[in-house]
Amino acid sequence: MSFESQGAPDASSYASNSRRPPFFFRDEYSSLIVKGNFMTLAAKPKLVEEGEWLAHQVVEQYRLLEQMIDIIKVMDDRSNPPRPIICNPETCPTMSASGHTYTWLDNNKKPIKIPAIQYINLVQKWIIGKISDPSIFPTDTSSSAFTPTAASSYVTGSITPGSSTPQPLGPTSLNAPLSQLAGRDWLGKSSGFPETFEADIKSIYRQMMRCYAHIYHGHWLEPFWHVNAWRELNTCFIHFINVGKLYNLLGDKEVEPMQPLIDLWLSKGLLSPPSPSQQQQPPQQPLKENVPMGGTQQGVMAS
């Protein structure tokens, strides 16, 4: 009997079977909207520099996550002023997932608990600011197609990149830092990305992981099950995890709230097992990622 014929799960059945794993950790709810090997989507083309490829992947992963976030941001137009129906300060007073509570930093760099919807809004603003910052994601500003509006639209996925899409510039001896001229190397150096690029994209990826964890643990049943969008959520998330693990953008600690689902996909062969080199790597150190609530883009130590 298929899981569709078993009837929709509801909160009461979840409560009465609290010893069982959440629905999204069960095999019958782990399916996707596509078939095939996600390694094909994550594999870097031979002629593309790795920094450029990861910049593309980060922008694409944020575009997919943004679509999932929009589902939990549905507004109640009957209230005055309109407010989110699903994820709001009453339903989600903290940004949490499976016993993990994520804090933000206030203007005094003190970690504080804030409602999940506020945390997610801050993350979105922070990520867009990072991706739109030409000092982090360098762009060809000589292109007539590049404007702040166009850059913002591309970041949020509202326009499709084409021949006029801004491309990273290669470093030159006129503007290269001394460390670069001295022969130091880093991810994306040959394509003009800064020395901090790897740390920046890992910070972005970590914050996106927190959003996915909250979406699953806080909102899988309502709304994703009820609007029949849980397969779409699974598909976006498995692609996100595949890229994150393949390029070491995520550590074991960061994926802990969703590890049972990842293990399930690994057992089905939908994800590739970690390579020996990845298994031998030491645990990742905390990254500088959160920003004060005042909105500055300067990173400070995450809580």
Q: Is residue 14 part of a domain?
A: no
Number of domains forming the structure of the chain: 1
236 is in an annotated binding site: no
Q: Are 133 and 125 in contact (CB under 8 A)?
A: no
Least Cα distance to 268 among 36, 5, 92 occurs for 36
Is the pTM higher than 0.85? The answer reads: no
56 is in an annotated binding site: no
Q: Is residue 184 part of a domain?
A: no
Mean pLDDT, the chain, integer:
77
For residues 23 and 279, the model is more confident at 23
211 is in an annotated binding site: no
Whole-number Cα distances in Å, 71 to 91, 220, 240, 258, 298: 15, 11, 18, 20, 29
Q: Is residue 300 part of a domain?
A: no
Q: Is residue 148 part of a domain?
A: yes
Whole-number Cα distances in Å, 94 to 21, 68, 302: 22, 19, 16
Q: Is residue 298 part of a domain?
A: no
| The predicted structure's pLDDT at residue 89 | 92
239 is in an annotated binding site: no
Range of the domain at 77: 22-159+197-279
Place of tokens 């933000």: 104
Q: Is residue 286 part of a domain?
A: no
> Is 161's pLDDT higher than 60?
no
Per-residue pLDDT reduced to its tens digit, 16-73: 345 678 999 999 999 999 887 777 788 888 888 999 999 999 999 999 999 999 999 9
Q: Which residues contact 296 (CB under 8 A, 6 or more apart)?
A: none
What CATH number should be reported for the domain holding residue 216? 1.20.140.30
- Strand segments, DSSP code E, in the chain are 75-76, 83-84, 95-97, 100-102, 104-105, 111-112
76 forms beta bridges with 83
Q: Is residue 74 part of a domain?
A: yes
Give the pLDDT band (50/70/90) at residue 77. Answer: low
Per-residue pLDDT reduced to its tens digit, 107-139: 899 999 999 999 999 999 999 999 999 989 987
Q: Is residue 178 part of a domain?
A: no
Least Cα distance to 87 among 121, 128, 61 occurs for 121
